[in-house]
Every structure is written in structure tokens, then in C-alpha cells.
């Protein structure tokens, strides 16, 4: 069974923020998370018309589909 419990490591001692469910001797794994503030990158400036010429639509886009003639 795996259970995750949050705690704080301070001067060689791990202090749990809640009581663990195990009442006997069990093997544990401890993972340390360095609290770093994420780097906030400035948003790239958008240019109007940046996709011009890259998107096209067929000339008959709005015409009825031949596959649906049986239903009309």
C-alpha cells in the first residue's frame, strides 16, 4: 500500500502535517521538494495576420454534401 503524507523537514527531523496510517514499523521513501518560484516568461507579442496565407477553405465549403442526398 502506498500513502502520501505531507510534512516539513527541519534540522534532520521530518514533521508530518497529519498522522500516518501505519501503526507498526514500515519502510518509507522521502522526497524533498525545493520550493522555487516558477520563471514567468513574458508573453510573445502577437502580430495581426500572422497566419495569413497558411489557412485556406475550399470554394464549395458551404455547398451541400453529396453523401447526404439520401436524407434530404
Query: With helix as H, strand as E and coil as C, how does 21-44 read?
Result: CCCCCCCCCCCCCCCCCCCCCCCC
**pLDDT tens digit string along 26-55?**
888 888 888 777 778 888 898 898 888 898
Spatial distance between the Cα atoms of 17 and 35, rounded to a whole number of angstroms:
17
For residue 10, what are the β-bridge partners? Answer: 13
Residue for cell digits 503524507? Answer: 5
pTM, to two decimals: 0.39
Annotated domain spans of the chain = 1-33
| pLDDT of res. 9 | 87
**pLDDT tens digit string along 3-13?**
888 888 889 88
Amino acid at each position: 500500500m502506498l500513502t502520501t503524507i505531507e510534512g516539513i523537514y527541519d534540522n534532520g527531523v521530518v514533521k508530518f502535517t497529519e498522522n500516518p496510517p501505519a501503526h507498526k514499523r514500515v519502510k518509507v521513501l522521502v522526497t524533498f521538494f525545493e520550493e522555487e518560484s516558477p520563471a514567468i516568461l513574458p508573453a510573445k507579442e502577437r502580430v495581426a495576420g500572422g497566419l495569413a496565407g497558411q489557412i485556406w477553405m475550399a470554394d464549395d465549403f458551404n455547398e451541400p454534401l453529396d453523401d447526404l442526398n439520401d436524407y434530404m
